[in-house]
Amino acid sequence: MSETTQIDVERVLCRREDLGRDGCREFRLGSGPWPLRCFVIAVGDQVRAYVNRCAHQALPLNLLPDRFLTHDGSMILCTAHGAIYEKATGYCVAGPCAGRSLESVPVQVVAGFVLLEDSVDADSLCARFAEPPAP
């Protein structure tokens, strides 16, 4: 007899195997012209997700798609001015925003998929980070 796990497909961010042991994958929350940019990152066997907004000047951390890490893959790097964050905590250990942190987005792995945790209200999170339209 097989056991079936039901998942909410609207909360799926990616397959866990897509991340490997140290991969990253961008995703967006919300709809409309200003969805909230976020990314999910593997930290060994664990998975974390953060809003893709640097604690320094609120710029996106990456220039290239799905590229968030330092050269050796051990830390998260902001390409704008070089802030360096811990992968497991989002805490900035070096750079112009040292001591501050990325905004965490709770995620979980269910049946081989990375999902937003049930506690995450995507609309509320998007509203908190709402950007004004360009002039």
The residues binding ligand FES (CB under 6 A) are: 54, 56-57, 59, 78, 80-83, 95-96
**For ligand FES, the closer CB: 59 or 75:** 59
User: Which residue, 20 or 65, is less far from ligand FES as judged by CB?
Assistant: 65
For residue 33, what are the contacts with CB-CB under 8 A and spacing of at least 6? 133
The whole-angstrom separation of Cα 102 and Cα 52 is: 8
Q: How far is the CB of 50 from ligand FES (least distance, A)?
A: 13
Least distance CB 51 / ligand FES (angstroms): 13
| Residue 54 or 126 having the CB closest to ligand FES | 54
Q: Quote the least distance from Cβ 82 to ligand FES, whole Å.
A: 6
Residues 86, 95 contacting (CB under 8 angstroms): no
Least distance (Å) from ligand FES to the CB of residue 72?
A: 19
User: 109 forms bridges with which residues in the sheet?
Assistant: 114
Q: Which residue number, 47 or 78, has a Cβ lying nearer to ligand FES? A: 78
Locate the DSSP E strands across 44-118.
46-51, 75-77, 84-86, 92-94, 107-110, 113-116
How is residue 93 written in tokens?
């250990």
- The pair of structure tokens assigned to 59 is 């710029």
In whole angstroms, give the CA distance from residue 131 to residue 37: 11
